[in-house]
Amino acid sequence: MAGRSRGPRTVKLPSAAEADALLRRMRGEVENNSNYRTKSLKIHGPVCARCGRQFDAASINQLTVHHRDGNHHNNPPDGSNWENLCNHCHDDEHSRGLLGDYLESAEKPHTR
């Protein structure tokens, strides 16, 4: 119903201890995840896993760490969920699903 205002809602705020625990957990996740790029470059080297292009200090910003399973929170210390991809290969990786969906829909007969 448009225009109908809702009454005040009660929101339960976390206790100070719960908020502190949540903040510590979030900070830990940020610290663990913030340097996965550095770790991946150290483990896998400054080379694109798809095309094999090698990068130096001047061009290293063109190399992206791709999460194989798509989960950016899955950052195992052995780097098994990462692969270093150049910008072109990374864009290609993420456009594959879009292109496939488009081609699949183009093959189906259109009905009204």
> Residue 80 domain-assigned?
yes
Percent of the chain with pLDDT over 90: 43
Report which of 58, 27, 31, 47 is spatially closest to residue 89, judged by C-alpha positions. Answer: 47
Residue linked to tokens 């699949």: 104
> Residue 54 domain-assigned?
yes
What are the tens digits of pLDDT across the range 59-108?
Answer: 999 999 999 998 988 888 899 999 999 999 999 988 877 666 677 776 66
> Residue 112 domain-assigned?
no
What are the tens digits of pLDDT across the range 14-32?
Answer: 899 988 888 877 777 655 5
> Residue 10 domain-assigned?
no
What is the reported pLDDT for 73?
Answer: 84
Instruction: Give CA–CA dist 64/11, Å, rounded.
Output: 41
CATH number for the domain spanning 94: value is 3.40.1800
> Residue 12 domain-assigned?
no
Task: Answer yes or no: is pLDDT of 112 > 60.
Answer: no
* Amino acid identity at 3: G
Supply the range of the domain harboring residue 59: 18-107
Q: What is the torsional sign of CA 38, 39, 42, 44?
A: negative
> Residue 11 domain-assigned?
no
* Count of structural domains within the chain: 1
